[in-house]
A and B are shown apart, each in its own frame.
Chain A
Amino acid sequence: MPKKSFREAVNEALRQEMERDPTVILMGEDVAGGMGAPGEDDAWGGPLGVTKGLMPRFGRERVLDTPISESAFVGAAVGAAATGLRPVAELMFVDFMGVCFDQIFNQAAKFRYMFGGKATTPLVVRTMYGAGFRAASQHSQCLYNIFTHIPGLKVAIPSNAYEAKGLLIQAIRDDDPVMFFEHKAMYDEEAEVPDEPYTIPFGEANVAREGEDVTVVALGRMVNFANEAADRLEGEGISCTVVDLRTTSPLDRETVLETAEETGRVVVVDEAHPRCSMAADIAALIAQEAFDALRAPVRMVTAPHAPVPFSPALEDLYIPGPDRIVEAVREVHGYGRG
């Protein structure tokens, strides 16, 4: 099977869906680039080149550069979704949700319910998240937890290129509004990705690795870190199950609880801040529904309750990396063993 980068996988998913369905359109700041400018067309293809090549193929009518007006164009994507198109809007960095959140959580998310089931809003908002790019406090946050809180939204957080393609095609075909999170530090990471289109259903977590001693529940980039930690722990004789949530809404409660019950020892890894996070949510779920199976307290490995710092020296401390996961797994593994 061919190897493709996360960037190529996203681009391929968009291209194949646009070929399949003429109502799929893209919009966002510089998704092509060079609109109205004297130089090259398709100058950027998105700030990190993810949508490069789509405008020349599908034209400016289907790949729309926008002014820097997130409220207007995200709202326009919502309105277009409710009236016959399947827009994929790019919110360049999820940190910019602050200037368009209303259109997502008060409009898109609630149309179907408020209108008595008579609205369908097949919208995808692709957005970049995550630390590790030295991009500092306003271009590095996770924030998927905030969207996960809102009924009516679906939230997908792919952990590699294969997952990205399948989850994005599912997101575009889905009739509900979907927030699709792409980690900016993962675009060059490669995985085996089939050439043909495929979907990965929402709400079905992937057991990325099966082990016997400790269950590590993770999402997005943290799945890679969890696998890396698990490789190292293997050498110490500790075997880990790694669960990739794939989507935080809908949430695959069953897989989380089953894998937690199998080992009785759980570490939850989330790149976001700890308060009201997926880490806290999963820990609470296990505490409430699988208490009797637990043999150690659930440990959360998260970023601290602090903005993302700029200096590489600080940012490296900030990100929950494999070392901290290893440490947490050792702790829950040793708990109660004297």
Chain B
Amino acid sequence: MQLSREDLLEAYRRMRLIREFEDRVHEEFSAGNIPGFVHLYAGEEASAVGVCLHLDDRDRIASTHRGHGHCIAKGCDPRAMMLEIFGKREGLCGGKGGSMHIADLEKGMMGANGIVGGGPPLVCGAALAAKTLGTGGVAVAFVGDGGSNQGTTLESYNLAKVWNLPAIFVIEDNGYAETTASSWSVGGSQTGRAAGFGMPGVEVDGFDFFAVWEAAREAVERARAGDGPSLLHVRLSRYYGHFEGDACTYRAADEVERIKAEKDPLMLFRRRVREAGLLEDSDLDAIDREARERIARTVDDAKGAAYPTEADLLTDVYASY
């Protein structure tokens, strides 16, 4: 299977939308326009998009604290997302979830998660539902390097294996669980852990969209064929702090700037498709412009939108009372 010109444009479009979205959220948060806790995905775009390009409406994903990128990659509406992050009534979750619980089940996005390691058991369930109902769907758990050390994650590897579930665990290792280096906090290796549970696991360069796309293709095909779970250990970097407001004093002084200059995933993508003669700079520039304008509009809309009111406080607690 090859990436068509349309696939390449779509891949770049989604990655650029995520970058633009996160850069603008960073800006707006710094200006005091966004309440609460916000965790940004900038720098990690190749992972969400490289995986989600293989998914369709049957498939489901669960995310982490750092969920905006997964939402956009899975097809959530950036405008409704921005309104949600601003806490507005017309937001994706009615302003009741916010950045850390942003979700759209209709799009198969089962939520960012405020609990580290909260997603993998849910993904086992979504995979079980797909298997039981015979939809042909798969389910993907995005997990940070921090979440990879939770018992819920390791239990889920085992359950997915013994139930032979169409599940994929994508460990997004950005080097730091909050301030703590994954080189210190992870005993053994992620792929070694996969092997320990009897499932295929590969390490992937998360700056390289094509590497992620290829590894995810194999894992998704395996799951769809009924051949059980897989793990991807995606090494990447986050450009901002653990949360907005994090001074990042635990990182090397020039770390992020060096990564941006040497291997930014969008830059690498552009270089690769240009050198291979697959896309023109003008195609990509147009996407950049379009993303900038689109996200700017979502921010304007979010600023102008109404907040929820007291009438919304007690709705949606139960389906029936």
A residues sitting closer than 8 Å to B (CB atoms) are 23, 25, 61-62, 64, 66-67, 69, 71-85, 87, 102-103, 106-107, 110-120, 151-152, 154, 174-176, 203, 250
CB closest chain-A residue, reference B95: A116
Is B136 an interface position by the 8 A CB rule? Answer: no
Most buried by A among B104, B115, B151, B318: B318
A-B contact pairs, 23 of them (CB 8 A): A23-B132, A64-B163, A67-B162, A72-B152, A72-B155, A72-B156, A72-B158, A74-B121, A77-B125, A78-B125, A79-B125, A79-B139, A83-B60, A83-B105, A83-B126, A85-B133, A107-B113, A115-B93, A116-B91, A117-B94, A117-B315, A118-B103, A119-B103
Known contacts A80-B126, A107-B122; decide if A115 and B159 are in contact (CB<8 Å). Answer: no
Cβ A118 vs Cβ B125 within 8 A: no
CA distance A75 to B111 in the complex (A): 14
CA distance A265 to B106 in the complex (A): 52
- Scan residues 52-85 of chain B and give those whose CB is less than 8 A from a CB of chain A: 60, 62
Q: Mark B148-168, 1 if CB is under 8 A from A, else 0.
A: 000110011011001100000
Is B317 an interface position by the 8 A CB rule? Answer: yes
Closest 6 CB pairs of A and B: A75-B121, A79-B125, A116-B94, A79-B122, A72-B155, A175-B319
Q: Mark B84-120, 1 if CB is under 8 A from A, else 0.
A: 0000000111111100010111100011011100101
Cβ A176 vs Cβ B320 within 8 A: yes
Cβ A176 vs Cβ B319 within 8 A: yes
CA distance A72 to B110 in the complex (A): 16
CA distance A64 to B62 in the complex (A): 23
Cβ A79 vs Cβ B93 within 8 A: no
Query: Across the interface, which residues of B come within 8 angstroms of A152, CB to CB?
Result: 317-318
Beyond the given A71-B152, A115-B96, please list 15 additional residue pairs across the A-B interface where CB-CB is below 8 A: A25-B132, A64-B163, A69-B155, A72-B120, A72-B159, A73-B121, A79-B62, A80-B129, A102-B115, A102-B152, A103-B121, A106-B118, A116-B93, A116-B95, A154-B318
CA distance A74 to B318 in the complex (A): 20
Cβ B96 vs Cβ A114 within 8 A: yes
Please count how many residues in chain B sit with their CB below 8 Å of the partner chain's CB atoms.
48
CB closest chain-B residue, reference A175: B319
Cβ B318 vs Cβ A176 within 8 A: yes
Known contacts A85-B132, A111-B111, A154-B318; decide if A75 and B96 are in contact (CB<8 Å). Answer: no
Is B184 an interface position by the 8 A CB rule? Answer: no
Query: Across the interface, which residues of A come within 8 angstroms of B96, CB to CB?
Result: 113-116
CA distance A128 to B254 in the complex (A): 57
Is B299 an interface position by the 8 A CB rule? Answer: no
- Closest chain-A Cβ to B102's Cβ sits at a distance in Å of 9
Q: Is the interface of B mostly helix, strand, loop or mixed?
A: mixed
Cβ B126 vs Cβ A79 within 8 A: yes
CB closest chain-A residue, reference B162: A67
Query: Across the interface, which residues of A come within 8 angstroms of B212, CB to CB?
Result: none
Cβ A80 vs Cβ B128 within 8 A: yes
CB closest chain-B residue, reference A36: B162
Query: Across the interface, which residues of B come within 8 angstroms of A61, CB to CB?
Result: 132
Query: Across the interface, which residues of A come within 8 angstroms of B285, CB to CB?
Result: none
Query: Across the interface, which residues of A come within 8 angstroms of B123, CB to CB?
Result: 79
- Set A79, A85, A112: member contacting B317, Cβ < 8 A: A112
Known contacts A119-B103, A175-B319; decide if A79 and B155 are in contact (CB<8 Å). Answer: no
Cβ B103 vs Cβ A115 within 8 A: yes
Cβ A112 vs Cβ B316 within 8 A: yes
Cβ A116 vs Cβ B92 within 8 A: yes
CA distance A74 to B129 in the complex (A): 14
Known contacts A69-B155, A118-B106; decide if A107 and B319 are in contact (CB<8 Å). Answer: no
CA distance A79 to B97 in the complex (A): 18
CA distance A61 to B128 in the complex (A): 10
CB closest chain-A residue, reference B90: A116
- Closest chain-B Cβ to A124's Cβ sits at a distance in Å of 14
Query: Across the interface, which residues of A come within 8 angstroms of B130, CB to CB?
Result: 83
- Closest chain-B Cβ to A201's Cβ sits at a distance in Å of 10
CA distance A275 to B13 in the complex (A): 56
- Closest chain-B Cβ to A292's Cβ sits at a distance in Å of 28
CA distance A123 to B260 in the complex (A): 45
Known contacts A25-B132, A102-B115, A112-B319; decide if A66 and B60 are in contact (CB<8 Å). Answer: no
Query: Across the interface, which residues of B come within 8 angstroms of A73, CB to CB?
Result: 121, 124, 159
Cβ A79 vs Cβ B103 within 8 A: no
Known contacts A71-B151, A72-B152; decide if A82 and B126 are in contact (CB<8 Å). Answer: yes
CB closest chain-A residue, reference B137: A83
- Closest chain-A Cβ to B164's Cβ sits at a distance in Å of 11
CA distance A71 to B133 in the complex (A): 23
Query: Across the interface, which residues of A come within 8 angstroms of B115, CB to CB?
Result: 102, 106-107
Cβ B101 vs Cβ A67 within 8 A: no
CB closest chain-A residue, reference B122: A79
Cβ A82 vs Cβ B128 within 8 A: no
Cβ B118 vs Cβ A76 within 8 A: no
CA distance A2 to B155 in the complex (A): 44
Cβ A82 vs Cβ B110 within 8 A: yes
Known contacts A83-B130, A84-B133; decide if A76 and B92 are in contact (CB<8 Å). Answer: no
